[in-house]
Structure 1
Amino acid sequence: MKFTFLGSGTSQGIPIIGCTCKVCTSDDKKDKRLRSSLLVQSKNTTVNIDAGPDFRYQMLRAGVMKMDAIIITHEHMDHTAGLDEVRAFNFIQNKPMEIYATERVQKRLREQYSYIFQNGDYPGVPQVVLKTIDMKTPFTIGDIKFIPIKVMHGQLPVLGFRMGDFTYVTDANYIGETEKNLIKGSKHFVVNALRKKNHHSHFTLDEAIELTKELDVENAYFTHISHQLGLHAEVSKDLPKGMQLAWDELSIE
Protein backbone atom coordinates (compact mmCIF):
# COMPACT_ATOMS: atom_id res chain seq x y z
CA MET A 1 0.00 0.00 0.00
CA LYS A 2 0.92 3.65 -0.40
CA PHE A 3 0.14 6.33 2.18
CA THR A 4 0.35 10.03 1.26
CA PHE A 5 0.02 12.97 3.64
CA LEU A 6 -2.32 15.33 1.80
CA GLY A 7 -2.15 17.69 4.75
CA SER A 8 -0.14 17.74 7.97
CA GLY A 9 -1.34 20.97 9.58
CA THR A 10 -3.70 21.83 12.37
CA SER A 11 -7.18 23.35 12.01
CA GLN A 12 -5.89 26.72 10.74
CA GLY A 13 -3.22 25.31 8.46
CA ILE A 14 0.15 26.98 7.90
CA PRO A 15 0.49 29.83 7.06
CA ILE A 16 -2.28 31.24 9.20
CA ILE A 17 -4.20 34.20 7.82
CA GLY A 18 -2.58 37.42 9.00
CA CYS A 19 0.33 35.77 10.85
CA THR A 20 3.88 36.99 10.24
CA CYS A 21 5.75 34.55 12.51
CA LYS A 22 8.88 32.84 11.18
CA VAL A 23 6.99 29.62 10.42
CA CYS A 24 4.13 31.25 8.55
CA THR A 25 6.57 33.31 6.48
CA SER A 26 9.03 30.47 5.88
CA ASP A 27 10.15 29.71 2.31
CA ASP A 28 10.57 26.02 3.14
CA LYS A 29 7.77 24.07 1.45
CA LYS A 30 7.77 21.67 4.43
CA ASP A 31 6.44 24.56 6.52
CA LYS A 32 3.40 24.94 4.24
CA ARG A 33 0.75 22.70 5.78
CA LEU A 34 -2.82 22.08 4.65
CA ARG A 35 -5.38 20.62 7.04
CA SER A 36 -4.61 17.03 8.09
CA SER A 37 -5.68 14.27 5.71
CA LEU A 38 -4.27 10.94 4.54
CA LEU A 39 -4.62 9.23 1.16
CA VAL A 40 -4.54 5.42 1.33
CA GLN A 41 -3.96 3.50 -1.90
CA SER A 42 -3.60 -0.16 -2.76
CA LYS A 43 -3.41 -1.71 -6.19
CA ASN A 44 -7.19 -1.64 -6.56
CA THR A 45 -8.54 0.71 -3.89
CA THR A 46 -8.28 4.41 -3.02
CA VAL A 47 -9.57 5.75 0.30
CA ASN A 48 -9.20 9.18 1.90
CA ILE A 49 -9.12 9.65 5.66
CA ASP A 50 -10.92 12.93 6.39
CA ALA A 51 -12.05 15.63 3.97
CA GLY A 52 -11.30 19.04 5.41
CA PRO A 53 -11.61 22.50 3.84
CA ASP A 54 -8.55 21.87 1.64
CA PHE A 55 -9.98 18.66 0.13
CA ARG A 56 -10.46 20.05 -3.40
CA TYR A 57 -6.92 21.39 -3.68
CA GLN A 58 -5.49 18.25 -2.06
CA MET A 59 -7.17 16.09 -4.72
CA LEU A 60 -5.88 18.31 -7.52
CA ARG A 61 -2.36 18.53 -6.13
CA ALA A 62 -2.11 14.75 -5.69
CA GLY A 63 -3.70 14.04 -9.07
CA VAL A 64 -6.39 11.82 -7.57
CA MET A 65 -8.72 10.58 -10.33
CA LYS A 66 -10.55 7.84 -8.40
CA MET A 67 -11.96 7.63 -4.89
CA ASP A 68 -13.70 4.53 -3.51
CA ALA A 69 -14.60 5.91 -0.09
CA ILE A 70 -13.91 8.59 2.50
CA ILE A 71 -13.47 7.81 6.19
CA ILE A 72 -14.21 10.54 8.74
CA THR A 73 -12.28 10.32 12.02
CA HIS A 74 -14.53 12.82 13.83
CA GLU A 75 -16.91 15.68 13.22
CA HIS A 76 -14.74 18.78 13.60
CA MET A 77 -14.88 21.06 10.58
CA ASP A 78 -11.19 20.82 9.73
CA HIS A 79 -11.92 17.16 9.00
CA THR A 80 -15.33 17.46 7.30
CA ALA A 81 -15.61 20.85 5.58
CA GLY A 82 -14.67 19.54 2.13
CA LEU A 83 -17.38 16.92 1.69
CA ASP A 84 -19.29 19.03 -0.83
CA GLU A 85 -16.40 18.42 -3.24
CA VAL A 86 -17.31 14.74 -3.66
CA ARG A 87 -19.61 15.98 -6.43
CA ALA A 88 -16.64 15.74 -8.80
CA PHE A 89 -16.18 12.05 -8.03
CA ASN A 90 -19.94 11.49 -8.35
CA PHE A 91 -19.69 12.83 -11.89
CA ILE A 92 -16.51 10.95 -12.82
CA GLN A 93 -17.57 7.62 -11.32
CA ASN A 94 -21.33 7.94 -11.86
CA LYS A 95 -22.17 6.68 -8.37
CA PRO A 96 -22.59 7.97 -4.80
CA MET A 97 -19.55 8.35 -2.56
CA GLU A 98 -19.39 6.00 0.41
CA ILE A 99 -18.72 7.92 3.65
CA TYR A 100 -17.61 5.81 6.63
CA ALA A 101 -18.21 7.26 10.10
CA THR A 102 -19.59 6.38 13.51
CA GLU A 103 -23.29 6.98 14.18
CA ARG A 104 -22.44 10.06 16.27
CA VAL A 105 -20.42 11.57 13.45
CA GLN A 106 -23.10 10.69 10.91
CA LYS A 107 -25.64 12.63 12.99
CA ARG A 108 -23.39 15.67 12.89
CA LEU A 109 -22.82 15.34 9.14
CA ARG A 110 -26.57 15.34 8.58
CA GLU A 111 -26.70 18.64 10.47
CA GLN A 112 -23.66 20.19 8.77
CA TYR A 113 -24.82 19.11 5.32
CA SER A 114 -28.59 19.14 5.68
CA TYR A 115 -29.01 20.14 2.03
CA ILE A 116 -27.38 16.85 0.94
CA PHE A 117 -29.73 14.68 2.95
CA GLN A 118 -32.88 16.77 2.52
CA ASN A 119 -32.52 17.58 -1.18
CA GLY A 120 -30.69 14.55 -2.52
CA ASP A 121 -32.43 14.65 -5.89
CA TYR A 122 -31.57 18.29 -6.59
CA PRO A 123 -29.07 18.60 -9.48
CA GLY A 124 -25.55 19.33 -8.26
CA VAL A 125 -26.09 18.12 -4.69
CA PRO A 126 -23.40 15.62 -3.63
CA GLN A 127 -24.52 12.00 -3.67
CA VAL A 128 -23.33 10.08 -0.62
CA VAL A 129 -24.05 6.80 1.13
CA LEU A 130 -23.32 6.67 4.85
CA LYS A 131 -21.62 3.53 6.16
CA THR A 132 -21.49 2.93 9.90
CA ILE A 133 -18.22 2.24 11.70
CA ASP A 134 -18.38 0.20 14.89
CA MET A 135 -15.42 1.30 17.01
CA LYS A 136 -14.71 -2.31 18.01
CA THR A 137 -15.10 -3.96 14.62
CA PRO A 138 -12.56 -4.00 11.74
CA PHE A 139 -13.99 -3.38 8.28
CA THR A 140 -12.79 -3.68 4.70
CA ILE A 141 -13.03 -1.26 1.80
CA GLY A 142 -12.03 -2.94 -1.45
CA ASP A 143 -8.85 -4.81 -0.60
CA ILE A 144 -7.85 -2.65 2.39
CA LYS A 145 -8.62 -3.72 5.96
CA PHE A 146 -9.11 -0.98 8.55
CA ILE A 147 -8.83 -1.65 12.28
CA PRO A 148 -10.50 1.18 14.27
CA ILE A 149 -8.53 2.59 17.20
CA LYS A 150 -10.50 4.66 19.70
CA VAL A 151 -8.55 7.62 21.06
CA MET A 152 -9.64 10.65 23.05
CA HIS A 153 -9.48 14.25 21.81
CA GLY A 154 -10.18 15.98 25.09
CA GLN A 155 -13.64 14.61 25.93
CA LEU A 156 -14.42 13.61 22.34
CA PRO A 157 -13.88 10.03 21.08
CA VAL A 158 -11.97 10.06 17.79
CA LEU A 159 -10.99 7.19 15.50
CA GLY A 160 -7.52 6.27 14.38
CA PHE A 161 -6.89 3.34 12.08
CA ARG A 162 -4.40 0.55 11.58
CA MET A 163 -3.92 -0.63 8.00
CA GLY A 164 -1.46 -3.50 7.86
CA ASP A 165 1.80 -2.25 9.38
CA PHE A 166 0.71 1.40 9.22
CA THR A 167 -1.23 3.16 12.00
CA TYR A 168 -2.69 6.66 11.72
CA VAL A 169 -3.90 8.71 14.70
CA THR A 170 -4.90 12.35 14.49
CA ASP A 171 -6.45 14.69 17.08
CA ALA A 172 -5.69 12.85 20.30
CA ASN A 173 -4.28 13.44 23.74
CA TYR A 174 -5.03 10.03 25.27
CA ILE A 175 -4.84 6.43 24.07
CA GLY A 176 -5.94 3.63 26.40
CA GLU A 177 -3.96 0.45 27.01
CA THR A 178 -6.28 -1.76 24.97
CA GLU A 179 -5.94 0.58 21.99
CA LYS A 180 -2.18 0.82 22.42
CA ASN A 181 -2.01 -2.94 22.00
CA LEU A 182 -3.66 -2.53 18.59
CA ILE A 183 -0.88 -0.15 17.57
CA LYS A 184 2.08 -2.17 18.84
CA GLY A 185 3.92 -3.99 16.09
CA SER A 186 3.26 -1.28 13.52
CA LYS A 187 6.20 -0.49 11.30
CA HIS A 188 4.92 3.06 10.72
CA PHE A 189 3.04 5.09 13.34
CA VAL A 190 1.53 8.51 12.67
CA VAL A 191 0.36 10.63 15.59
CA ASN A 192 -0.47 14.28 16.18
CA ALA A 193 2.07 16.57 17.80
CA LEU A 194 0.46 19.99 17.90
CA ARG A 195 3.12 22.09 19.63
CA LYS A 196 5.59 22.05 22.52
CA LYS A 197 3.32 23.75 25.04
CA ASN A 198 0.62 21.71 26.80
CA HIS A 199 -2.78 21.51 25.12
CA HIS A 200 -6.13 20.29 26.47
CA SER A 201 -6.92 17.97 23.57
CA HIS A 202 -3.75 17.28 21.57
CA PHE A 203 -0.45 15.54 22.29
CA THR A 204 2.52 17.85 22.62
CA LEU A 205 5.73 16.99 20.79
CA ASP A 206 7.27 15.53 23.95
CA GLU A 207 4.15 13.48 24.65
CA ALA A 208 4.16 12.15 21.08
CA ILE A 209 7.83 11.21 21.42
CA GLU A 210 7.26 9.40 24.73
CA LEU A 211 4.24 7.58 23.31
CA THR A 212 6.28 6.44 20.33
CA LYS A 213 9.01 5.11 22.61
CA GLU A 214 6.44 3.28 24.73
CA LEU A 215 4.88 1.62 21.69
CA ASP A 216 8.32 0.64 20.37
CA VAL A 217 7.43 1.28 16.72
CA GLU A 218 10.09 1.37 14.02
CA ASN A 219 9.16 4.69 12.37
CA ALA A 220 7.10 7.59 13.69
CA TYR A 221 5.69 10.56 11.81
CA PHE A 222 4.23 13.53 13.66
CA THR A 223 1.30 15.37 12.07
CA HIS A 224 -1.49 17.89 12.81
CA ILE A 225 1.25 20.45 13.43
CA SER A 226 0.67 24.10 14.34
CA HIS A 227 2.95 27.03 13.62
CA GLN A 228 3.69 27.12 17.36
CA LEU A 229 5.79 23.96 17.06
CA GLY A 230 8.50 25.77 15.11
CA LEU A 231 10.28 25.48 11.79
CA HIS A 232 10.34 22.02 10.24
CA ALA A 233 14.12 22.07 9.75
CA GLU A 234 14.89 23.23 13.30
CA VAL A 235 12.52 20.84 15.08
CA SER A 236 13.65 17.91 12.95
CA LYS A 237 17.27 18.27 14.10
CA ASP A 238 16.34 17.42 17.68
CA LEU A 239 14.08 14.43 17.09
CA PRO A 240 15.18 10.95 18.21
CA LYS A 241 16.20 8.38 15.63
CA GLY A 242 13.28 6.89 13.76
CA MET A 243 11.05 9.92 14.40
CA GLN A 244 10.30 12.77 12.03
CA LEU A 245 7.81 15.50 11.29
CA ALA A 246 5.46 14.61 8.47
CA TRP A 247 5.04 17.11 5.67
CA ASP A 248 2.51 17.66 2.90
CA GLU A 249 2.96 15.26 -0.05
CA LEU A 250 5.20 12.88 1.90
CA SER A 251 4.48 9.34 0.66
CA ILE A 252 5.27 6.04 2.40
CA GLU A 253 5.07 2.76 0.51
Structure 2
Amino acid sequence: MNAKLTFLGTGTSMGVPTLGCDCAVCTSADVRNVRTRSSIALEYAGRVVLIDTGPDFRQQMLRSGLRQVDAVLYTHGHADHVLGFDDLRPLTFGRGGPVPVYADDPTADVLERVFEYTFRKVDKYPTSAKVALHRLSAEPGTAVSLFGASFERIPMIHGRNSIGGYRFGQAAYLTDMSDLPEASFDRLHGLDVVVLDALRREPHPSHSHLENSVRIAEKIGARRTFFTHIAHELDHAEVAAELPPHIQPAYDGLQLEFVIA
Protein backbone atom coordinates (compact mmCIF):
# COMPACT_ATOMS: atom_id res chain seq x y z
CA MET A 1 0.00 0.00 0.00
CA ASN A 2 1.42 3.36 -1.04
CA ALA A 3 1.55 6.34 1.29
CA LYS A 4 2.52 10.01 1.19
CA LEU A 5 4.58 11.68 3.91
CA THR A 6 4.33 15.46 4.30
CA PHE A 7 6.75 17.38 6.46
CA LEU A 8 4.39 19.73 8.29
CA GLY A 9 7.37 21.26 10.07
CA THR A 10 11.13 20.72 10.19
CA GLY A 11 12.28 23.24 12.78
CA THR A 12 13.70 23.10 16.26
CA SER A 13 11.79 24.06 19.39
CA MET A 14 12.38 27.80 18.78
CA GLY A 15 11.50 27.65 15.08
CA VAL A 16 13.25 29.42 12.22
CA PRO A 17 13.35 32.41 11.97
CA THR A 18 14.16 32.44 15.67
CA LEU A 19 12.75 35.36 17.64
CA GLY A 20 15.22 38.19 18.12
CA CYS A 21 17.75 36.80 15.64
CA ASP A 22 19.02 38.48 12.49
CA CYS A 23 21.51 35.80 11.36
CA ALA A 24 21.86 34.87 7.69
CA VAL A 25 19.44 31.93 7.97
CA CYS A 26 16.78 33.78 9.96
CA THR A 27 16.81 36.61 7.40
CA SER A 28 17.17 34.35 4.36
CA ALA A 29 14.92 34.71 1.32
CA ASP A 30 15.03 30.93 0.81
CA VAL A 31 11.64 29.63 1.94
CA ARG A 32 13.29 26.31 2.82
CA ASN A 33 14.91 28.13 5.74
CA VAL A 34 11.49 28.94 7.22
CA ARG A 35 10.95 26.06 9.63
CA THR A 36 7.93 25.53 11.87
CA ARG A 37 8.09 23.03 14.72
CA SER A 38 8.69 19.43 13.65
CA SER A 39 5.78 17.19 12.72
CA ILE A 40 4.68 14.96 9.85
CA ALA A 41 1.42 13.81 8.28
CA LEU A 42 0.95 10.42 6.62
CA GLU A 43 -1.78 9.86 4.03
CA TYR A 44 -2.82 6.38 2.94
CA ALA A 45 -6.00 4.36 2.40
CA GLY A 46 -8.01 7.58 2.59
CA ARG A 47 -6.75 8.27 6.10
CA VAL A 48 -4.48 10.87 7.72
CA VAL A 49 -2.17 9.91 10.59
CA LEU A 50 -0.11 12.57 12.37
CA ILE A 51 3.08 12.23 14.35
CA ASP A 52 3.17 15.06 16.92
CA THR A 53 1.15 18.28 17.07
CA GLY A 54 3.43 21.19 17.89
CA PRO A 55 2.60 24.85 18.56
CA ASP A 56 2.38 25.54 14.80
CA PHE A 57 -0.09 22.71 14.12
CA ARG A 58 -3.03 24.92 13.10
CA GLN A 59 -0.91 26.91 10.66
CA GLN A 60 0.63 23.72 9.28
CA MET A 61 -2.72 22.08 8.60
CA LEU A 62 -4.07 25.17 6.86
CA ARG A 63 -0.96 25.36 4.70
CA SER A 64 -1.08 21.65 3.83
CA GLY A 65 -4.75 21.67 2.84
CA LEU A 66 -5.42 18.60 4.99
CA ARG A 67 -8.97 18.56 6.35
CA GLN A 68 -9.06 15.44 8.52
CA VAL A 69 -7.13 13.57 11.18
CA ASP A 70 -7.79 9.89 11.84
CA ALA A 71 -5.10 9.16 14.46
CA VAL A 72 -2.18 10.85 16.23
CA LEU A 73 1.04 9.30 17.51
CA TYR A 74 3.34 11.20 19.87
CA THR A 75 7.11 10.88 20.17
CA HIS A 76 7.46 12.59 23.57
CA GLY A 77 5.93 15.26 25.75
CA HIS A 78 8.06 18.34 25.11
CA ALA A 79 6.20 21.55 24.33
CA ASP A 80 7.26 21.75 20.69
CA HIS A 81 5.66 18.37 20.04
CA VAL A 82 2.38 18.52 22.00
CA LEU A 83 1.17 22.10 22.41
CA GLY A 84 -0.94 22.01 19.24
CA PHE A 85 -3.07 19.24 20.75
CA ASP A 86 -6.00 21.57 21.43
CA ASP A 87 -6.17 22.51 17.75
CA LEU A 88 -7.31 18.97 17.02
CA ARG A 89 -10.73 20.01 18.35
CA PRO A 90 -12.59 20.96 15.14
CA LEU A 91 -11.11 17.97 13.34
CA THR A 92 -12.58 15.61 15.93
CA PHE A 93 -16.17 16.87 15.85
CA GLY A 94 -18.93 15.11 13.93
CA ARG A 95 -16.90 12.06 12.94
CA GLY A 96 -18.90 9.38 14.72
CA GLY A 97 -16.25 8.53 17.30
CA PRO A 98 -13.14 9.83 19.02
CA VAL A 99 -9.79 10.21 17.29
CA PRO A 100 -7.34 7.66 18.73
CA VAL A 101 -4.20 9.21 20.25
CA TYR A 102 -1.15 7.10 21.13
CA ALA A 103 1.62 8.02 23.56
CA ASP A 104 3.95 6.37 26.04
CA ASP A 105 3.27 6.88 29.76
CA PRO A 106 5.40 10.02 30.31
CA THR A 107 3.90 11.70 27.25
CA ALA A 108 0.36 10.66 28.13
CA ASP A 109 0.89 12.11 31.61
CA VAL A 110 1.89 15.45 30.05
CA LEU A 111 -1.16 15.48 27.78
CA GLU A 112 -3.51 14.70 30.66
CA ARG A 113 -1.93 17.36 32.86
CA VAL A 114 -1.64 20.21 30.35
CA PHE A 115 -5.01 19.50 28.70
CA GLU A 116 -6.82 18.43 31.86
CA TYR A 117 -10.09 19.96 30.66
CA THR A 118 -10.09 17.50 27.73
CA PHE A 119 -9.63 14.37 29.83
CA ARG A 120 -11.52 15.10 33.05
CA LYS A 121 -14.41 12.76 33.84
CA VAL A 122 -16.60 15.29 35.65
CA ASP A 123 -17.69 18.72 34.35
CA LYS A 124 -15.90 18.10 31.08
CA TYR A 125 -15.41 21.12 28.85
CA PRO A 126 -18.23 20.79 26.27
CA THR A 127 -16.17 21.50 23.15
CA SER A 128 -13.07 19.56 24.13
CA ALA A 129 -11.32 17.51 21.50
CA LYS A 130 -13.06 14.17 21.02
CA VAL A 131 -10.08 11.85 21.49
CA ALA A 132 -9.33 8.47 23.03
CA LEU A 133 -5.89 8.31 24.65
CA HIS A 134 -4.08 4.97 24.38
CA ARG A 135 -0.91 4.39 26.41
CA LEU A 136 1.91 2.63 24.58
CA SER A 137 4.43 0.40 26.26
CA ALA A 138 8.02 1.63 25.99
CA GLU A 139 9.24 -1.93 25.47
CA PRO A 140 11.01 -2.67 22.16
CA GLY A 141 8.66 -4.23 19.63
CA THR A 142 5.59 -2.29 20.77
CA ALA A 143 3.39 -1.61 17.76
CA VAL A 144 -0.10 -0.40 16.93
CA SER A 145 -2.09 -1.23 13.81
CA LEU A 146 -3.81 1.72 12.12
CA PHE A 147 -5.93 1.35 8.99
CA GLY A 148 -3.95 -1.57 7.61
CA ALA A 149 -0.46 -0.32 8.53
CA SER A 150 1.69 -1.16 11.54
CA PHE A 151 3.44 1.59 13.51
CA GLU A 152 6.30 0.20 15.59
CA ARG A 153 7.69 2.33 18.41
CA ILE A 154 11.48 2.70 18.10
CA PRO A 155 13.28 3.50 21.38
CA MET A 156 15.56 6.55 21.11
CA ILE A 157 17.90 8.50 23.37
CA HIS A 158 17.05 12.20 23.81
CA GLY A 159 19.80 13.47 26.11
CA ARG A 160 18.99 11.94 29.50
CA ASN A 161 15.52 10.84 28.41
CA SER A 162 14.20 7.77 26.62
CA ILE A 163 11.61 8.64 23.97
CA GLY A 164 10.11 6.96 20.91
CA GLY A 165 10.25 7.27 17.16
CA TYR A 166 8.18 5.16 14.77
CA ARG A 167 8.72 2.77 11.91
CA PHE A 168 5.83 2.34 9.48
CA GLY A 169 6.38 0.06 6.52
CA GLN A 170 9.47 1.11 4.59
CA ALA A 171 9.83 4.44 6.42
CA ALA A 172 10.82 5.61 9.90
CA TYR A 173 10.54 8.94 11.72
CA LEU A 174 13.22 9.51 14.37
CA THR A 175 13.13 13.10 15.52
CA ASP A 176 14.63 14.57 18.71
CA MET A 177 17.21 11.84 19.18
CA SER A 178 20.78 12.33 20.30
CA ASP A 179 21.53 8.67 19.58
CA LEU A 180 19.89 5.29 19.12
CA PRO A 181 20.29 2.21 21.31
CA GLU A 182 22.01 -0.58 19.43
CA ALA A 183 18.85 -2.69 19.56
CA SER A 184 16.94 0.01 17.67
CA PHE A 185 19.26 -0.25 14.68
CA ASP A 186 18.18 -3.88 14.37
CA ARG A 187 14.59 -2.69 13.84
CA LEU A 188 15.50 -0.32 11.03
CA HIS A 189 16.73 -2.69 8.33
CA GLY A 190 15.37 -2.46 4.78
CA LEU A 191 14.12 1.14 4.89
CA ASP A 192 13.36 3.22 1.84
CA VAL A 193 13.06 6.45 3.89
CA VAL A 194 14.40 7.44 7.28
CA VAL A 195 13.94 10.86 8.90
CA LEU A 196 16.56 11.82 11.48
CA ASP A 197 17.18 14.68 13.88
CA ALA A 198 20.09 16.93 12.76
CA LEU A 199 20.01 20.08 14.85
CA ARG A 200 23.23 21.93 13.96
CA ARG A 201 26.94 21.39 13.26
CA GLU A 202 28.13 21.56 16.86
CA PRO A 203 27.37 18.74 19.33
CA HIS A 204 24.32 19.25 21.54
CA PRO A 205 23.46 17.47 24.80
CA SER A 206 20.06 16.20 23.66
CA HIS A 207 20.02 16.32 19.84
CA SER A 208 22.11 14.72 17.15
CA HIS A 209 24.38 17.11 15.24
CA LEU A 210 25.03 17.00 11.51
CA GLU A 211 28.14 14.82 11.49
CA ASN A 212 26.62 12.34 13.94
CA SER A 213 23.37 12.20 11.96
CA VAL A 214 25.28 11.36 8.78
CA ARG A 215 27.03 8.56 10.69
CA ILE A 216 23.70 7.21 11.94
CA ALA A 217 22.17 7.48 8.46
CA GLU A 218 25.00 5.46 6.96
CA LYS A 219 24.66 2.83 9.67
CA ILE A 220 20.91 2.49 9.06
CA GLY A 221 21.49 2.35 5.30
CA ALA A 222 18.11 3.59 4.08
CA ARG A 223 17.80 4.37 0.39
CA ARG A 224 16.80 7.95 1.25
CA THR A 225 17.57 9.94 4.43
CA PHE A 226 16.09 13.31 5.34
CA PHE A 227 17.08 15.50 8.26
CA THR A 228 14.58 17.40 10.41
CA HIS A 229 14.44 19.40 13.68
CA ILE A 230 16.91 21.82 12.12
CA ALA A 231 18.02 24.99 13.93
CA HIS A 232 18.99 28.34 12.45
CA GLU A 233 22.68 27.39 12.44
CA LEU A 234 22.11 25.34 9.24
CA ASP A 235 21.38 26.95 5.87
CA HIS A 236 19.35 24.61 3.66
CA ALA A 237 21.15 25.18 0.36
CA GLU A 238 24.59 25.07 1.95
CA VAL A 239 23.94 21.80 3.77
CA ALA A 240 22.19 20.22 0.78
CA ALA A 241 25.19 20.97 -1.42
CA GLU A 242 27.70 19.33 0.90
CA LEU A 243 25.70 16.14 1.55
CA PRO A 244 25.40 13.18 -0.83
CA PRO A 245 22.20 13.05 -2.92
CA HIS A 246 20.68 10.25 -0.81
CA ILE A 247 21.09 12.23 2.44
CA GLN A 248 19.41 15.64 2.41
CA PRO A 249 17.80 18.20 4.73
CA ALA A 250 14.02 18.26 4.64
CA TYR A 251 11.96 21.44 4.52
CA ASP A 252 8.42 22.42 5.45
CA GLY A 253 5.96 21.13 2.86
CA LEU A 254 8.28 18.52 1.34
CA GLN A 255 6.35 15.40 0.29
CA LEU A 256 7.63 11.87 -0.18
CA GLU A 257 6.00 8.68 -1.41
CA PHE A 258 6.81 5.25 0.01
CA VAL A 259 5.27 1.85 0.74
CA ILE A 260 3.61 1.69 4.15
CA ALA A 261 2.20 -1.86 4.02
Give me the TM-score of the superposition, normalised by structure 1. 0.96
Q: Conserved in 1, the CA contact under 8 Å of 2:185 and 2:220?
A: yes
- Distance in 2 (CA, whole Å) between partners of 1:33 and 1:177 is 30
Counterpart of 2:196 in structure 1 is: 191
Q: Conserved in 2, the CA contact under 8 Å of 1:66 and 1:93?
A: no
Counterpart of 1:129 in structure 2 is: 132
Q: Conserved in 2, the CA contact under 8 Å of 1:44 and 1:142?
A: no
Q: How does 1:67-216 map to 2 (within 5 A)?
A: 67-118=69-120, 121-135=124-138, 136=140, 137-216=142-221
2:128 is paired with a residue whose SS is: coil
Offset of 1:212 from its aligned partner? 1.0
2:233 is paired with a residue whose SS is: helix
Q: Conserved in 1, the CA contact under 8 Å of 2:165 and 2:173?
A: yes
Equivalent AA in structure 2 for residue 238 of structure 1:
E
Offset of 1:218 from its aligned partner? 1.2
Offset of 1:110 from its aligned partner? 1.1
Counterpart of 1:241 in structure 2 is: 245
Equivalent AA in structure 1 for residue 6 of structure 2:
T
Q: Conserved in 1, the CA contact under 8 Å of 2:69 and 2:92?
A: no
Q: Conserved in 2, the CA contact under 8 Å of 1:167 and 1:188?
A: yes
For structure 1, which segment, 116-125 or 231-240, has the greater mean C-alpha deviation from structure 2 after superposition? 116-125
Residue 44, structure 1, aligned to residue 46, structure 2: yes
- Distance in 1 (CA, whole Å) between partners of 2:118 and 2:17 is 31
Paired residue for 1:66, among 51, 64, 68? Answer: 68
Paired residue for 1:223, among 208, 219, 228? Answer: 228
- Distance in 2 (CA, whole Å) between partners of 1:149 and 1:46 is 21
- Distance in 1 (CA, whole Å) between partners of 2:187 and 2:110 is 27
**Contiguous gaps of at least 5 residues in structure 1:** none
- Distance in 1 (CA, whole Å) between partners of 2:35 and 2:94 is 28
- Distance in 2 (CA, whole Å) between partners of 1:127 and 1:243 is 39
- Distance in 1 (CA, whole Å) between partners of 2:203 and 2:150 is 34
Equivalent AA in structure 1 for residue 69 of structure 2:
M
Q: Conserved in 1, the CA contact under 8 Å of 2:117 and 2:125?
A: no
Q: Conserved in 2, the CA contact under 8 Å of 1:120 and 1:126?
A: no
Q: Conserved in 1, the CA contact under 8 Å of 2:45 and 2:147?
A: no
- Distance in 2 (CA, whole Å) between partners of 1:29 and 1:93 is 35
**Contiguous gaps of at least 5 residues in structure 2:** none
- Distance in 2 (CA, whole Å) between partners of 1:227 and 1:120 is 44
- Identical columns (%): 37
1:203-241 CA-to-partner distances (Å, cap 9, x unmatched) read 000000011112222111000000012x11111110123
Equivalent AA in structure 2 for residue 195 of structure 1:
R
Give me the TM-score of the superposition, normalised by structure 2. 0.93
1:115-136 CA-to-partner distances (Å, cap 9, x unmatched) read 2122663222222210121233
Counterpart of 1:232 in structure 2 is: 236
2:187 is paired with a residue whose SS is: helix
Paired residue for 2:59, among 57, 60, 66? Answer: 57
Distance 1:117 1:25, change over 3 A: same
Equivalent AA in structure 1 for residue 183 of structure 2:
T
